[in-house]
Amino acid sequence: MKRTILILTALLLVFAAASAPQAATAQSTSPWQVTYFNNPNWAGAPVYTEFANAVAFNWGSDVPPVPGMPAQNWTARLTTTSFFYAGNYNFQIIADDAFVLYVNGAVMFNTLGLNIPGKPVNVVVPMTQGNQFIQIDFWQATGPAYLYASWSFDKPVNPPAPPTPVPPAAGGLFPPPSSGPVTQFGDYSRCAQQQIHQSNCFQSNGAWNAPNMGSIQMEPQIVLWQNCTADQWQTRQLFPNQLAQSAKCSKSEAGWFPG
């Protein structure tokens, strides 16, 4: 009888471990600094600071083991500096209730207000070689609280060639405009005036399912700068003295390139 109880207990422990949220340990060349706030908006001075080797926290539904912290409606900020080789990296984050991912101060993804607690989120982030500052802001509202984060080098089997400027047609390009379109992904005046690729002006808004820098960099260069609906197809005159042709709107919503 005693042996049967021990076997059942072991099976229950295995099942509990398998059902908990899982994510690979986040790679880092330095420890994560974790600061806790006893309010839902990271306001004021933190009430406690600790260090961790990985972003793998499961606080459950109880008060975090931190002095002065409530069980609900609190926030934490996790920061580290890590070395990256040049290329695209796939960040995976699982959080309940929500998080904001920053790289060098720029928002890469924001789940606040999306109501997707516990849903794995994958974000592709292009990196230059060198040390990069990573920050994750975690928000706990009600119920269980956990946060897992990891990243891996995302190297495609056949990487696409970098975008090249569209060669001028026989009639050349239209003269550069004096100003450019402004969209939810940034002000494109500089890119329009200098006739350079739209990725040089792109700013992610962190919204769910919004384009990231990698998807913008893979597009052909915009040749007709004007506000449009992302991925829409229309017939447009893209070059002077040329017939109208099929054109596609950039994911940046800043203009058209040949389809």
Secondary structure (H, E, C), 231-245:
CCEEEECCCCCCCCE
The residue whose two tokens read 């950039």 is 250
The verdict on 37 and 118 lying in the same domain is: yes
Are residues 108 and 220 both part of a single domain? no
> Most confidently modeled of 112-116, 133-137, 199-203?
133-137
Q: Give the CA dihedral 46, 50, 52, 58, nearest 10 degrees.
A: -70
Task: Select the more confidently predicted residue: 182 or 27.
Answer: 182
pLDDT exceeds 70 at position 17: no
User: How many domains, the chain?
Assistant: 2
> Which CA distances in Å does 10 have to 2, 4, 19?
13, 10, 15
Whether pTM > 0.75 for this model: the answer is no
127 with 252, same domain?
Answer: no
Residue 213: predicted pLDDT = 83
What is the C-alpha separation between 92 and 123, in angstroms, rounded?
7
- Amino acid, single-letter form, for residue 253: E
Q: Give me the mean pLDDT over the 98-108 stretch.
A: 94
Q: Give the 3-state secondary structure of residue 49.
A: strand
The first and second tokens of residue 14, run together, are: 């295995």
CATH number at residue 114: 2.60.120.260
Q: What residue numbers bound the domain in which 72 lies?
A: 19-153
pLDDT band at residue 111, thresholds of 50, 70 and 90? very high
| Tokens encoding 252 | 């940046």
pLDDT on residue 58: 92
Domain match, 139 and 203 both:
no
pLDDT of the residue at 167: 52
Q: What is the DSSP letter of 118?
A: T
- Return the half-sphere exposure (C-beta side, CA atoms, 13 A cut-off) of residue 73: 1
Predicted pLDDT at 211: 87
Q: Confidence class of residue 157 from pLDDT cuts 50, 70 and 90?
A: very low
Q: Are residues 51 and 146 in the same domain?
A: yes
Average pLDDT, the chain: 81
Let me know whether 23 and 115 are in one domain: yes
Domain termination residue (choose one: 153, 169, 201): 153
